[in-house]
Amino acid sequence: MHRMLRNQLRRIGIADPAHLPAALAEVAALAAQDGLSAEARGLLSGLERLLGRVDQSYDQFDRDMDLRSRSLMLSSEDLMQANARLQAEGGGPDGGARFLARHRRQPDRRLGRGGARD
């Protein structure tokens, strides 16, 4: 069970996740009782599925966040390497701008035209 869901359950009185199956069984038994509206019966009988989906959503969010963080880290490393190359080729912190200005009009042999848009 995801730690956030565990914390939320703890806040409503389920301190030990091991007690959740028994509590859900009680809720399912309540759903079978007479006198409940269709909405209340649906809510009670669907609570276990809802908690499962919430748990899966938290897990998916964590996976997505890890993927974004990794992607951002790799992009940052690539940009730092490109910046270091520009500084080395251009001669200092402002040299990158001079390097780009000097090389922006060189012909792009693959395209058969100037590097900048004509």
Q: What is the amino acid identity at position 18?
A: A
Euclidean distance between CA atoms 2 and 44, whole angstroms: 22
Q: pLDDT tens-digit profile of 26-70?
A: 999 999 889 999 999 999 999 999 999 999 999 999 999 999 999
Euclidean distance between CA atoms 44 and 10, whole angstroms: 19
Q: Which 3 state secondary structure label does DSSP give 7?
A: helix
Euclidean distance between CA atoms 74 and 64, whole angstroms: 15
pTM of the model: 0.62
Residue 114 host element (H or E): strand 113-114
Euclidean distance between CA atoms 103 and 97, whole angstroms: 10
